[in-house]
Amino acid sequence: MRETLEKIKAEALEALSAPSANIEDLRIKYLGKKGELTAVLRGMGKLSAEERPVIGQLANDIRAEIEAKIEQMTAERRAREIEEKLEAEKLDVTIPGDKIAQGHFHPLSLVQRQLEEIFLGMGYSIVEGPEVELDYYNFQALNIPKDHPARDTQDTFYITENILLRSQTSPVQARTMEVQKPPIKIISPGRVYRSDAVDATHSPLFHQVEGLVVDKGITMGDLKGTLEMFAKTMFGEETKIRFRPHHFPFTEPSAEVDVSCFVCGGKGCRLCKGEGWIEILGAGMVHPNVLRMCGIDPEIYSGFAFGMGVERIAMLKYRIDDMRLLYENDVRFLNQF
């Protein structure tokens, strides 16, 4: 019986040591109610009175040893599992993160948004008008009749004789005044078209922002103050503005407006071509004919208007020397903004 017990012990310990051992099965096999050790103990009755306690003691020791082994193997296995889990879920929080490529606004959108922000801040509303426009709004309502020479500089694309792609954002002035009575204080950004060949400073499609203020007692002083405020916000606090007499059919008087060069401060440099001043927009007091055609009495109301090219402002602000760069969408260019 002693040999049987020793054999069971040796077998059990060896089986439990195998890395792939199924510990629970082995526990049942050796220590379970129908297990091998139990079977041996059942046969103890046949033993002599002297042998019984000795074998009993041995059997208990062996059971204890097997139990200890089971416990040890279980603990080892659990430790290994935890280690494997930790290894599998390892997270190095010191590794630099992956950069998420994020898009950003096109320089023209940036400038348009900044323009909008500046005028919204001065209490203007934003109004949009159609790009496919009637000859009437693009020209006639702006005091440019069919035979007017001012049409030459704004040749555009015609859908029919009376429908065209707008050559300026100014028609939004007429459209707004027709439906809204003073006080009016709007800007209108958007695309405009001209049948110009593409070069460093021309494009058949470009962008403008129009401005219009109509109310009682609006003067050229209001126009100057507004544009000065705009220029300082856009180009810097030191910026000065200058009005040069000009002619637009829809304003009287009319002016071209320059800003002092924000690179040299007015001394003369390459950007301002030695002038010290840079032209940025056209403006003037809304012509009485325009007010009248839109149903507003010029004896009661007066107004000012201005219009500027978004490309021109963007090119000045970011020192872009070729307009085509704005439309090619080369990411090497766009990434710089």
The rounded distance, in Å, linking the Cα atoms of 79 and 209 is 72
Is residue 248 a contact point for ligand DAH (CB under 6 A)?
yes
Which residue sits closest to ligand DAH, CB atoms considered? 307
Choose which of 112, 143, 156, 168 interacts with ligand DAH (CB under 6 A): 168
3-state secondary structure of 236: coil
Q: Which of 143, 156, 170, 239 binds ligand DAH (CB under 6 A)?
A: 170
Interface residue with ligand DAH, options 144, 284, 293, 313 (CB under 6 A): 284
Residues 6+ apart with CB under 8 A from 43: 1
How far, in Å, CA of 245 to CA of 256, rounded? 6
Binding mask 286-325 for ligand DAH (x = CB under 6 A): -------------------xxx------------------
In order of 21, 223, 328, the CA distances from 332 in angstroms are: 63, 39, 11
Between 30 and 306, name the residue whose CB sits nearer to ligand DAH: 306
Q: In this structure, are strands 277-286 and 163-165 parallel, antiparallel, or unpaired?
A: unpaired
Q: Number of residues in contact with ligand DAH, rule: CB under 6 A?
A: 11
Out of 176, 251, 260, 302, name the contact with ligand DAH by CB under 6 A: 251
The interface region with ligand DAH, picked from 228-236, 267-275, 279-287, 313-321 by CB under 6 A, is 279-287
| 182 is a contact residue toward ligand DAH (CB under 6 A) | no
Stretch that binds ligand DAH, among 14-22, 233-241, 263-271, 280-288 (CB under 6 A): 280-288
**Minimum CB–partner distance for residue 284 and ligand DAH (Å):** 5
Q: Does 210 bind ligand DAH (CB under 6 A)?
A: yes
> Residues of 96-133 as b/e, b for ≥16 C-beta within 10 angstroms?
eeeeeeeeeeebbebbbebbeebbeeeebeebebeeeb
Q: How far is the CB of 153 from ligand DAH (least distance, A)?
A: 8
Beta-bridge partners for 126: 187
Collapsing DSSP to helix, strand or coil, 257 comes out as strand
38-60 as b/e: b if 16+ CB within 10 A: eebbeeeeeeeeeeeeebeebbe
Rounded to a whole number of angstroms, the minimum distance from the CB of residue 194 to ligand DAH is: 9
188 is an interface residue for ligand DAH by CB under 6 A: no
Residue 253: asked if its preceding bond is cis (omega within 30°), the reply is yes
Find the binder of ligand DAH among 258, 282, 323, 326 (CB under 6 A).
282
Q: Where do contacts with ligand DAH occur on this chain (CB under 6 A)?
A: 168, 170, 210, 248, 251, 282-284, 305-307
